Chains A and B, each alone.
Chain A
Amino acid sequence: MADAETQREAVLDALDNVAERLAEEKEYLTDLDSAIGDADHGANMERGFGKAADKREEFAEMEPNEVVKNVGTTLISNVGGASGPLYGGSIMFASQELEDGITAETSVAFAEAYLNKVKDRGGAQVGAKTMVDALVPAVHTYKKSVEQDDLPPLEALAKAVDAAERGVAFTVPIKAMKGRASFLDWRSVGHQDPGATSTLFILEELLETAEEYLDGEIDRDARAEDAVGRDE
């Protein structure tokens, strides 16, 4: 992607879009979390990303990777609980991959670093009904699309979002093995995981933002057809 200034603008726009989306979805996330958690995910995510978006001016002179890092630290201070380290700590850690700017290559490295940190810190594997269920398919699909299929990053990201969406759907019929929801045991079956859901929202907003900055078009009809298990 273009020069550092454009990259920074893209990061800031993405931040705004994510913050706005999470504010819109606050109630929905809270409802999901009420069913199997402690009903604070919506408010926590809105507060955390809201605080980060409020720092737009403070971020205005920073390198793109520094902005990403500071978004991470802001989330750490403001999201609270285990989500602070999981979302914020992982963004902060992965921001090291963007030191040479945001390219197709470094974005793959960022995504992988983020995924590995979430898995490492939270100790969850696929199938535990957590954010990992959305992240693994998204990151694997993105990496393969960029590195092996030579797809333009925008198309790769669109595929990743589709994959995440299927991952979120996958969390519904399975039993929680990690986090507070796991204490519900079989009663957790049938509920969609809030962490996987907010992860999908974040990815969807990254895609929205990328569309404004990257060449290429996404065939939305094809995406819709492609998706499985989707509740239209």
Chain B
Amino acid sequence: MKKLINEPGAVVDEMLDGMVAAHPELRRLDGTNVLVRDDAPVEGKVAVVSGGGSGHEPTHAGYLGEGMLDGAAAGEVFTSPTADQLNEMIQATDAGEGVLCVVKNYEGDVMNFDTAAEMAAMEGVEVEQVVVNDDVAVEDSLYTSGRRGVAGTIFVHKCAGAKAAAGGDLGEVTAVAEKVVDNVRTMGMALTSCVTPEKGEPTFDLGEDEIELGIGIHGEPGTERADVMSADEITEHLTENVLDDLELDEGEEVVTMVNGMGGTPLSELYIVNRKLQSILGDRGIETWDAWVGDYMTSLDMMGCSVSVLRVDDELKELLGAPAETPGLTVTE
């Protein structure tokens, strides 16, 4: 399979170098795969950090900057960063106000973040952790106990980041992050498999006329393999699973996200969004804001996920607050 790389083993290292070259407001910690805001630690502010395997760009480092993340640790492709690097990230971003780690629910990520939090605590840093598990598709999977953390994580970054920027203390920032986790649900699907640089061939076999519903962001199996359907039918399937799980009442407000998996054109994502909004309208649910784009990808996989976040005044204010990052900009 053709790839625009030099060698598989250098993908993460070279990507990070290129990213810093494009965004001088980011800085790489020496000898690590951790990027931080260049002005970290930001005085008087709780730090919000995240991290996980690479291959999900712009997640995670793409959300570094004002109003979102202070630090992002990149593991190898689809592999958790090691706890010592996570610890370095925590130390480098802590301004004395404490650090919130936003972790997606994968066994490797959770264990390494847990260990890093312990290491940082031994050095006197106050650390809190929120585990995101928004994927309604499967309970347990190849890398997870419980539900997987997927694209809804970006809403957590946005809201927790905004709360920290507004001067919230560690408890308040953590509470906001937990509130988002409690109110966001996601489900994804794939038209094709992703191809990892190391393997160089599709992670799973999917026939010309087949799609995988409930796919994970590493190509791990979903709920069912189905015959190809129209965009409207796929959107209906994903949205209904998400809405049923979220148990929204008529009149409630939401923010939606149609997230591309990396290999799907924006035009198709808009087609999905069209149907998504019409379903919400039929159910009497009001969309306060609709996000469409590649927020958390799965390398070159074709497909999308649909996320719905129930919002109240607090979350609306935080989602609307300014943010300036490579992957997301919000202006007042």
Residues of A within 8 A of B (CB): 73, 76-78, 80-82, 84-86, 88-89, 92-93, 121-123, 179-180, 183
Chain B residues with CB under 8 Å of A80's CB are 79, 82
Alpha-carbon distance between A78 and B79 when the two chains are bound, in angstroms? 14
Other-chain residue from B83, B107, B142 in contact with A76 (beta carbon distance below 8 A):
B83
- Chain B nearest CB: distance from A78 CB in Å? 8
Known: A73-B119, A183-B142. A84 touches B114 (CB 8 A): no
Say whether B129 faces chain A, with CB atoms less than 8 Å apart.
no
Residues on the A chain within 8 Å of B82, using CB: 76-78, 80, 84
A76 CA / B83 CA spacing, docked (Å):
6
**A85 lies within 8 A of B83 (CB):** yes
| Known contacts A73-B84, A76-B83, A76-B84: A85-B111 contact under CB 8 Å | yes
Q: Which residues of B contact A (CB under 8 A)?
A: 79-80, 82-85, 107-108, 111-112, 114-115, 118-119, 142, 145
Supplied contacts A82-B107, A82-B111, A84-B112, 8 more A-B pairs, CB within 8 Å: A73-B84, A76-B84, A77-B85, A81-B79, A81-B80, A85-B111, A92-B119, A179-B107
The docked-state distance in angstroms from the alpha carbon of A77 to that of B116 is 11
Could you list 25 examples of A-B contacts with CB < 8 Å? A73-B84, A73-B119, A76-B83, A76-B119, A77-B82, A78-B82, A81-B80, A81-B108, A82-B111, A84-B82, A84-B83, A84-B112, A84-B115, A85-B111, A85-B112, A85-B114, A85-B115, A86-B111, A88-B115, A89-B114, A89-B115, A93-B118, A122-B111, A123-B145, A183-B142
How would you classify the secondary structure of chain B's contact residues: helix, strand, loop or mixed?
helix
- A121 to B83, Cβ gap below 8 A? no
Closest to B220 in A: A183
Smallest CB–CB gap between B247 and chain A, Å? 28
CB distance from B144 to the nearest CB of A (A): 11
Among B79, B114, B115, B142, the one with the most A-chain Cβ atoms within 10 Å of its Cβ is B115
Nearest CB to that of A69 among chain B residues? B122
Nearest 10 interchain pairs by C-beta: A89-B115, A85-B111, A85-B115, A77-B84, A76-B83, A82-B108, A82-B111, A76-B84, A85-B112, A121-B111
Q: Which residues does chain A contribute within 8 Å of B145, judged by CB atoms?
A: 123
User: B142 contacts A180, CB within 8 Å?
Assistant: yes
